[in-house]
């Protein structure tokens, strides 16, 4: 009987003493917030008594009960609000301490610990704690140090393009070509931090874009220009041109030349099976280089023209459009032949002599009604 009474007394005392011990009663829910907004973490304590509740982040004490204890340099006011705030609410034996972190930055992410320092004699030095997680999401940013810039390579070399980006969650990197063409391996897009191009050729030159996206707007992008050194390639706009001789009509012969580095462009007249004569700007010839032509030119491509003034029989024959750089040369042959009538848009600017004579006759006839009216009016006044 005595043993039974002792057991009851022991259990009662244990339960009473247990109720006096401070505890954190609820799980601290994680907070997920975009950068620049406000994050909140709530810590609910029972039987706080005269112990104090502390919020800690990165081993740095932020609050004690309702007081901000962090160094003021870490708690500066922005847009009317300090970096850290704490709000206390008491309901019965429960004390709620809400930590507020304003204008969130990437450095604010991580684990925040709510801890109670127990100060009574029996449990002196006992620490009760629970962790809450602050997740700060922010859009991607391209990391220039980890990203390729404009590159110049030779044909047949292997090229590795790199793209680095920060962001939370970690961004996915996707590669595309800006002009809409497939990647060198045939895919329209590739997902990876790097893009490997094996045995590159001139058709792989252009602008490659890396896109960084983590579903937090806006995504980021960066364009990398890939220059491939190659010998010039010349292509005729037309394989032949015709023009009538000795009628004061001009002709424009055109070609397109691509190459890198920038090639020197030349026009030649074929004088024999083995010799060419280079043509220069003079009274007979005008040479033009166009950097753009109706938005039809590709990268490292030029539109090359020669205007031959007042075509005569000596101008007929073959012409060579040529480009030359330190990797070689490329050329194409274009023929100029005789026609019986004027060819091309310049013909409209010339008017035949008979057209001008007819026009003058029509002008004279158009004055007759006016002259007759004046004569009749004169005689009516006399009468």
Mean predicted confidence (pLDDT) in 78-84: 95
Greater confidence, 71 or 13? Answer: 71
Q: What is the pTM of this model?
A: 0.68
pLDDT tens-place string over residues 25-76? 999 999 999 999 999 999 999 999 889 999 999 999 999 999 999 999 999 9
Which two three-digit tokens encode residue 336?
């100029």
Predicted local confidence at residue 296, as pLDDT: 82
The candidate with the shortest Cα–Cα distance to 142, out of 105, 174, 106, 167, is 167
Distance CA 172, CA 206 (A): 23
Contact of 321 with 236, CB cutoff 8 Å: yes
Mean predicted confidence (pLDDT) in 150-157: 94
- pLDDT at residue 356 tops 80: no
- pLDDT at residue 10 tops 90: no
Cα–Cα separations (whole angstroms), residue 181 to 35, 115, 169, 207, 208: 36, 58, 30, 10, 10
Q: Predicted confidence band at 21 (pLDDT cuts at 50, 70, 90)?
A: confident
Which two three-digit tokens encode residue 169?
């969650």
Predicted local confidence at residue 125, as pLDDT: 64
Which two three-digit tokens encode residue 281?
């700007």
Residues 6+ apart with CB under 8 A from 256: 234, 235, 237, 297, 301, 302, 303, 304
Placement of tokens 């259990």 in the chain? 11
Q: Which residues of 91-109 are buried (b: 16+ CB within 10 A; e: fewer)?
A: eeeebebebebbbbeeebb
Mean predicted confidence (pLDDT) in 166-191: 96
Predicted local confidence at residue 20, as pLDDT: 67
CA atoms lying within 13 Å on the CB side of residue 286: 8
Q: Cβ-count burial of 243 within 10 angstroms (0-12 exposed, 13-18 middle, 19+ buried)?
A: buried
Domains of the chain (ranges; CATH) run: 18-137 (2.60.40.10), 143-229 (2.60.40.10), 237-345 (2.60.40.10)
Predicted local confidence at residue 297, as pLDDT: 87
Q: Which residues of 30-40 are buried (b: 16+ CB within 10 A; e: fewer)?
A: ebebebeeebb
Mean pLDDT of the chain: 87
Predicted local confidence at residue 141, as pLDDT: 96
Among the residue ranges 177-181, 228-232, 294-298, 369-373, the one predicted with the least confidence is: 369-373
Distance CA 182, CA 185 (A): 8
Greater confidence, 319 or 125? Answer: 319
Which two three-digit tokens encode residue 313?
């029989």
Distance CA 163, CA 344 (A): 51
Q: Predicted confidence band at 121 (pLDDT cuts at 50, 70, 90)?
A: low
Q: Predicted confidence band at 282 (pLDDT cuts at 50, 70, 90)?
A: very high
Greater confidence, 3 or 362? Answer: 3
- What percent of the chain shows pLDDT beyond 70? 84
Predicted local confidence at residue 304, as pLDDT: 97
pLDDT tens-place string over residues 206-250? 999 999 999 999 999 999 999 999 999 999 999 999 999 999 999
């Amino acid at each position: 009987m005595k043993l039974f009474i002792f057991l009851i007394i022991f259990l009662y005392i244990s339960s009473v003493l247990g109720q006096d011990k401070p505890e954190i009663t609820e799980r601290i829910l994680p907070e997920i917030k975009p950068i620049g907004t406000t994050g909140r973490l709530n810590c609910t304590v029972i039987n706080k008594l005269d112990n104090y509740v502390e919020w800690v982040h990165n081993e740095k004490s932020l609050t004690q009960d309702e007081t901000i204890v962090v160094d003021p340099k870490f708690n500066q006011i922005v847009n009317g609000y300090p970096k850290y705030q704490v709000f206390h609410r008491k309901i019965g034996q429960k004390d709620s301490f809400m930590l507020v972190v304003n204008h969130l930055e990437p450095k604010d992410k991580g684990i925040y610990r709510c801890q109670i320092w127990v100060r009574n004699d029996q449990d002196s030095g006992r620490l009760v704690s629970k962790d809450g997680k602050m997740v700060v999401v922010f859009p991607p940013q391209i990391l220039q140090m980890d990203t390729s810039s404009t590159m110049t390579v030779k044909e047949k070399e292997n090229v590795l393009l790199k793209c680095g980006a920060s962001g939370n969650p970690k961004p996915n990197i996707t590669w595309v070509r800006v002009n809409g063409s497939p990647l060198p391996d045939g895919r329209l897009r590739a997902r990876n931090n790097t893009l490997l191009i094996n045995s590159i050729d001139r058709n792989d030159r252009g602008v490659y874009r890396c896109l960084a996206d983590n579903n937090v707007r806006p995504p980021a992008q960066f364009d990398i220009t890939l220059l491939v050194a190659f010998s010039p390639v010349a292509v005729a706009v037309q394989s032949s041109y015709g023009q009538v001789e000795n009628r004061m009509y001009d002709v424009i012969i055109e070609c397109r030349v691509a190459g890198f580095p920038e090639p020197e462009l030349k026009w030649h007249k074929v004088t024999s099976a083995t010799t060419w004569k280079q043509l220069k700007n003079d009274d007979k010839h005008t040479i033009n280089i166009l950097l753009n032509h109706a938005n039809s030119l590709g990268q490292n491509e030029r539109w090359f023209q020669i205007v031959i003034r007042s075509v005569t029989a000596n101008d007929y024959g073959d012409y060579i459009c040529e480009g030359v750089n330190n990797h070689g040369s490329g050329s194409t042959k274009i023929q100029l032949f005789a026609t019986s009538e004027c060819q091309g848009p310049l013909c409209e600017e010339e008017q035949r002599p008979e057209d001008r004579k007819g026009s003058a006759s029509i002008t004279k006839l158009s004055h007759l009604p006016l002259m007759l009216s004046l004569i009749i009016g004169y005689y009516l006044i006399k009468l």
